[in-house]
Amino acid sequence: MLALRKLTNKASLLSITSRFLTTQKPYPIPDEPTSTKYDELIYIAGRSRDFATIHRLLNKRFKDHCFNTANTFKFITNTDNDLSVLDDLSQTLARLDKGFTRKSAYDSLIIRLSKLNRIDEALRVVDTMVRGEYGANACTYHPILNALTKKKKMKEAWRLMESMRENGISPDVTAYNYILTAYCFVGDLAAVAGVLTKFGEEGMKADTRTYDALVLGACRAGKVEGALVVLRRMEDDGVPVLFSTHAHVISELLGMGYYEQAVEFVMSYEGRDKRLDAESFGSLASRLINLKRIEEAKLVLEEMNKRGIPMGYKLKDFYQMNI
């Protein structure tokens, strides 16, 4: 009894238990850590509002070369209860290791908020980064620009571009591409011309996405010949062609009923890029079958077979049954 009383006097059961619990490591780091596993652990900690663990995991994942992703802050949803933690979370991020670890965490939070279309909240995080000098750059703004332009909120997108400049951050090619693509999607060629003027004034050099947007814009405006001119310029400039760029032309030709021209277009690029061939030929054949243009579809499939271009299972079945 005396020994028990001495033990009780020296340390209460509560303090012993507390010390025991705090020395344990919740959310143990996996033996083979990956970004996905870290995201899962941060999700659990986030739902529990365990900011200390979030802090530890964010610092540790960078040391394990497991970079943040668009799902790092997936525990935040579009509810008032979840959004109420943003201040505490932002303070947690501010205490992360300086440099890329902290910047990347803030950027990932902005990606999450932008995906939820919580633009005001995302802008507040940007403001925190700028005021704290946490490495905000053009990439920090990209998710917000993407969200705004997808919603066709062009005035807000242009204001954001001005805000970037006010904060000493120059909009880059990707930032302009978001705005350009939005105008091209609706075929607003006058607005496209305005963007290209600003593009040139700032000495920007067009990249793959720039050309892709311009081809889309020409097709949306019903100017297929203009799209082909842009494609030729793209080739002359040595810019890699995306499948989506060809898909814009194919879709417009098929939509206008120019089936033979669509086949000729795809075949004219055969042999330059095997992956592009597989995507373009396969997509065209499938579209022609759906449009009941069986003869044209057979021609495309025969060319695919002759040139050794791989077919998907459905196209193989169609080929074996009809050719």
pLDDT tens digit sequence for 85-112: 999 999 999 999 999 999 999 999 999 9
Encode pLDDT of 221-264 as tens digits.
999 999 999 999 999 999 999 999 999 999 999 999 999 999 99
Q: Which band of pLDDT confidence, cut at 50, 70 and 90, is reported for residue 323?
A: confident
Residues 6+ apart with CB under 8 A from 56: none
Spell 220-237 as b/e; 16+ CB within 10 A means b: bbebbebbbebbeebeee
Number of other CB atoms surrounding residue 251 within 10 Å: 17
pLDDT at 168: 97
Q: By three-state DSSP, how is residue 170 classified? A: coil
pLDDT of 215 higher than 90: yes
**What whole-number distance in Å separates Cα of residue 213 and Cα of residue 133?**
34
Q: Which band of pLDDT confidence, cut at 50, 70 and 90, is reported for residue 29?
A: confident
**What whole-number distance in Å separates Cα of residue 218 and Cα of residue 223?**
5
Q: Are 184 and 213 in contact (CB under 8 A)?
A: yes
- Residue with the larger pLDDT of the pair 203 and 29: 203
pLDDT at 11: 42
pLDDT of 4 higher than 70: no
Encode pLDDT of 65-76 as tens digits.
999 999 999 999
Mean pLDDT, to the nearest integer, of 190-205? 93
Q: Which band of pLDDT confidence, cut at 50, 70 and 90, is reported for residue 26?
A: low
Q: pTM of the predicted model, to two decimals?
A: 0.85
pLDDT of 17 higher than 50: no
**What whole-number distance in Å separates Cα of residue 301 and Cα of residue 288?**
11
Q: Which band of pLDDT confidence, cut at 50, 70 and 90, is reported for residue 2?
A: very low
Q: Are 276 and 267 in contact (CB under 8 A)?
A: no
User: What's the farthest any 2 CA atoms get from each other in the chain?
Assistant: 99
pLDDT of 195 higher than 50: yes
Encode pLDDT of 261-284 as tens digits.
999 999 999 999 999 999 999 999
Residue position matching structure tokens 């880059």: 172
Residue position matching structure tokens 């206008």: 256
Average pLDDT, the chain: 91
pLDDT at 9: 45
- Residue with the larger pLDDT of the pair 167 and 1: 167
Structure tokens at 277: 């061939």
